[in-house]
Amino acid sequence: MQQKRVPAKVVKYISRFIGSRPWVCLVGALLVSAIVIIIDITFIFKGIKFEVSNKGWKSRGTLIAKRGMQSDVILFHQDSLYNDQFLSEFKELPIQITEKYNSPWEYLQSNVVPGYIALGIFRKLETKNSDSSCNSNWFSKFNPGNENYLSAMYKGKNLLDPESVLEICTAERTTMDALKNGDFCSVCDQCPIPFSLTAAIGAALGMDGSDSCEVLVSSYASNQSIITGQLANCANALRDPDSFVCELPIFSGLFVDTNFGVDGNFDLEYSSSYFSSDDITYETVESLYQITGSFGKKKDYVDIVYDTSYEDFNIISQEEIMLKDVALAFVSVIVTTLAIFIHTKSMWLTAMGCVQIIFAAPFAFFFYRVVGKITFFPVINLIGLFVSSALGADDLFVAVDKWKNARLENPLVSTEDIAELALPDAAGAMLLTTSTTSVAFFATCVSPVPPVYTFALFCGLLVIFNYVLNIALIFPALALYDRWLMDGKKNIFIACLMKKENPYDQTPSDHDEGSDVEVSESFIHRLLSLFYKYLHRFRFIFLVVMIAVTTVCCYYAVGIKLPENSDVRMLPDTISYEKHYIWFRKLLAYQSRVGGGNIVRFFFGLQPADNGYHRDPDTLSNLVLDNNFDPSTTQSQIFLKEFCGNLFQNEFVHLPYENYNCSINEFDHWLSEQATTTDQLDGFSTMCGDENSLPMDPLFFHSCFSFWFREVGVQLYDDKNVLDRDGIVKVLWFDAIAKVRFEDPYYDLRKDWLLFENWMKNEVSNGPHELQSGFLHGSVFWWKDTSGQVLNTALSAAAIAVGFAAIIVLVSSRSIRLTFFSGLCIVYILASATASLVSIGWELGFLESVCFAILIGISSDFVIHFTHAYNAYAGSVSRELRTESGLKHMGPSILASAITTFTAGFVMLFCTLTFFAKFAQMLMFTIIHAIIGSFVVYLTLTDIFGPKEPTKLFNRIVAKIAGRQKADDNIDKDNSFEDNPSMSQKEYES
């Protein structure tokens, strides 16, 4: 006989209250929801920072992140600190602030500075191309690393064929006209020719760019082999920059690809053009984007794509695509609505289910913003809309099926009685899956990467509020639905396609003693009975097959690889702006740049610190100086003087450029020059005391070093790498190059970082204590840290989710054996889903790691439902009966949930943003294998090895721990109808 535990008094009272006053509960819940929505619209949305780009994808709070924060703060504000004045980056500060602080040094040490989003916008606002020339003279000022240009990337079979050159030239002239018409060349009668392959060809032919494309190509055709050879020679010379000699008047690695000129290859596949356009800023780039349709286009031989140096078009495109992808969330809601209607056969319950799913988002957003105090909202958070649509319907199916099953078993009792029986059972069943899914999301909140944290938090809140609103809205709606049908109201709004034989048509005479009237089984129950028949008959075959399949899947799953590069891209490579990004990386200039490595800085005078709000990338940190830093002592001078010499002796460290010298060594050399020259710099004796080398008198070090840098050193370096205040050196740093690139595999980045880090630790630990807080930082190592933190998050979140799921199964089932079966089933789901993803080319990259963390929580939901149903009989009941009963009771809800979740994932496949599409693939494979795992793996295990008394061993262990004499005293105490008023009389008598 089926056990239904008597609810606690409070739960019983709440359930009966909902059953007796459903309108009060429903209207109250809707009013509260309306208030929250109004607050969101009126106050909350105004302070949110919606971010589509990759801003904020940096770890926070780790050692490397703390170093990076201080590096970013000092580098961005170095001009203001050097001049000890509030310069352009402070222009938005109120006048009261600048008056309060006498110096940017004081302000930066006392205040957290704006973050990456604000800094990115500021950089674009301040960017102005340095060309004002109306001809090719602007080439001498061309600086794509620090200026924002419109650029075109070209791809063709051989771009040096005359036909291809003509197409490129024609496209350039068309684009120049479009720029002129759009007022992007306002200082000239027409736009200057672009810095491009055609400019190089024209210069080689002695042309100044004023000739027509036809004239250029006609002259080029007769000299093609000569110019092609010259281009190849220059490309090969560029590969050896120490001996670079090029015979062409104009040449750049931007004109040729990485394979051109190698082993006699004269086919040019990729090239680019950079256009001189005035003032491409944050304010004007939108206008530039709007006229891209009038730029030169592909014709017969050359593919052409456009973007700016800062990928502005790519970001704008992401925003446009994001709106389309979000629209698909509404399609998902429509599909979910249809699934709810088919399952409930009630427009009323369907409407309330949609309200529940939609209202979960404002509640989640309210707590995200008000309680979490987070203003940063990255685009990946929008995946929560799909999650809300799918998982919200899952809870509804459980609630509806629990209610209808209770009514089927008790057709004559009141709505209040059904509420008392069904609602606690439904709430408990939903709580089990809600807790495991939400914990899987919340466990991902351990990530120190803001977008990952905010995504996990928002989705976890959506799961919780779907559960809360299911109780607040669906439970009263079910009570009203039940009342209406009990009163004989069966209009199309309340119930559609109602069977002729259903519990609401039963009369007392149908249940008199001896009556043969029974409610016929539904189609889905008959189908599940047939499924169980064959599962039971071939259970041993299924067992062998599933063991083999699980073993094979585990083998392939553990073989998932880390990506060959650590790059994170939001658009697929079918989008033209993403092609621009990809094709640029085919150019020799890119290879030369990244082949040259990435800069690593060695700081002295700073303390690693990140005092900003870690969950918001729009706040960095305040400036934290090292109060023990003193480079003037004799030991400090000796250490700093020898530091760079020791540093560059390492094979893994490279000079930033040929003949580079660290500032301290340049200073030492300058001292010796000043001591011997007859043309001493004015002020030398006053500031330096006629010292001639390091170490010098500590009393003169600060004044002399800062004097040298302001008079001489500042002209030698791009950065203000010696910062003093009132003649006292506060911060200094030296540069070096690490050969690793951002795109290198994670373990290559980690290996290089350990080489640098171990050397630096050893060096400063043996140095004077005034310099022992010195540290190194490179953006490439911060990227390594971020990638590693995401991977660690996936592993730790998975461990937390699996552990919590095991606890939930054990506590809810009170069966060690069922918990073990559940664990085996989850292992199958994880292994098979991962192996499936590997088969379609997945690697364990940035976005994939986030998806895997959530896979855990979703994979355990169906198993938990079956475990709960298996344990629904008290006493000793055969494993076959428990398995079949659990299948028939929870199978319909699980199948309906699987279909809606799978459909939501299928809809997401049509999203363009990469993360959305990857999440969809993961979701669909997880659902497929969760169905197989729960319906085949788990039910096979319980049908063969399932316990007849699931709780017996658990109760015995608990009893022994509690010090009781017997463990079985309470196992069968619920076997009477009086103790289980939820049982039907007929069920008890059977």
Render pLDDT for 402-413 as a digit per residue (tens, 0 to 9): 898 889 888 889
Alpha carbon distance 667, 656 (integer Å):
18
493-502, 614-623, 753-762, 795-804: range with highest mean pLDDT = 753-762
CA separation for the pair 929, 940 (Å, rounded):
15
Confidence check: pLDDT of 131 > 70? no
Edge to edge, the sheet with strand 195-196 lists 195-196, 270-275, 150-156, 302-308
Our CA angle for 459, 463, 469, nearest 5°, is 135
Whole-number pLDDT of residue 296: 92
Average confidence (pLDDT) over 763-791: 91
Antiparallel, parallel or unpaired: β 376-378 and 49-51 = parallel
Do the beta carbons of residue 869 and residue 885 sit within 8 Å?
yes
Identify the top-confidence range among 91-105, 164-178, 738-752.
Answer: 164-178
Backbone φ and ψ for 196, nearest 5 degrees, come out as: -160, 180
Which residue reads 């018409």 in tokens? 181
Report pLDDT for 148: 82
Beta pairing partners, 307: 151
Cα radius of gyration (the chain): 35
Give the angle 710-597-782 at the CA atoms, nearest 5°.
Answer: 85
pLDDT of residue 986: 40
pLDDT band at 526; cut points 50, 70, 90: confident
The dihedrals phi and psi of 180, each to the nearest 5 degrees, come to -65, -45
- How far, in Å, CA of 821 to CA of 823, rounded? 5
Digit-coded pLDDT (tens) for 591-625: 766 556 789 999 999 999 999 988 888 788 999 99
> How confident is the model at residue 520, as a pLDDT?
54
Q: How many other C-beta atoms lie within 10 A of the C-beta of residue 967?
A: 17
User: What's the pTM value of the predicted model, to 2 decimals?
Assistant: 0.81
Q: Which amino acid is at 713?
A: G
Cis ω for the linkage preceding 104 (within 30 of 0): no
Q: At what angle do helices 861-870 and 914-932 cross, to 10 degrees?
A: 20
Quick check: 836 pLDDT over 70? yes
First to last CA, the chain: 7
7-21 average pLDDT score: 86
Tokens of 339: 């699934």
What is the CATH number assigned to the segment(s) 9-46+317-513+524-554+787-962?
1.20.1640.10
pLDDT at 513 over 50: no
Identity of the amino acid at 220: Y
In this structure, the number of other CB atoms found within 10 A of the CB of residue 762 comes to 10
Mean pLDDT of the 253-261 span: 93
Q: Is the dihedral of CA 336, 342, 344, 350 positive or negative?
A: positive
Report the chain's mean pLDDT, rounded to a whole number. Answer: 84
| Average confidence (pLDDT) over 60-77 | 94
Residue 845: its pLDDT value, please?
73
Instruction: Report the percentage of the chain scoring pLDDT > 90.
Output: 42
Question: What is the rounded (10 degree) CA torsion for 830, 836, 839, 841?
Answer: -70
Q: What's the CA gap between 742 and 782, in Å, rounded?
A: 10
Please report, for residues 275, 278, 310, 528, 576, the alpha-carbon distance to residue 307 in angstroms, rounded to integers and kept in the order given.
Answer: 11, 15, 8, 56, 9
pLDDT value at residue 180:
86
Q: How many CB atoms lie within 10 A of CB 155?
A: 18
At residue 594, the pLDDT reads 54
Q: Is the pLDDT of residue 497 over 70?
A: no
Which of 589, 604, 545, 646 lies closest to 940 in space, CA to CA?
545
The reported pLDDT for the residue numbered 490 is: 72
Whether 127 shows a pLDDT value over 50: the answer reads no
d(CA 890, CA 866): 7
Burial of 543 (0-12, 13-18, 19+ CB in 10 A): middle
pLDDT of 964 > 60? The answer is: no
Query: What residues does each domain of the chain span?
Result: 9-46+317-513+524-554+787-962, 63-118+598-777, 136-309
CB burial string 834-873: b at 16+ within 10 A, e below: bbbbbeeebebbbbbbbbbbbbbbbbbbbbbbbbbbbbbb
Among 117-131, 494-508, 663-677, 901-915, the range scoring the smallest mean pLDDT is 117-131
Q: How far apart are CA 499 and CA 480, in angstroms?
A: 19
Residue with tokens 């009893």: 959
Is the pLDDT at 469 greater than 90, yes or no?
yes
Q: Is the pLDDT confidence value at 389 over 50?
A: yes
- The kind and range of the H/E element at 26 are helix 22-39
In contact, 951 and 873? CB cutoff 8 Å: no
940-958 per-position pLDDT tens digit: 999 999 888 888 888 888 8
Can you tell me the distance from the alpha carbon of 356 to that of 702, in angstroms, rounded to the nearest whole number? 68
Q: Is the pLDDT of residue 436 over 50?
A: yes
pLDDT of 566: 59
Let me know how long the chain is. Answer: 990
Residue 183 Rama label (left phi>0; alpha psi -120 to 50; beta): left
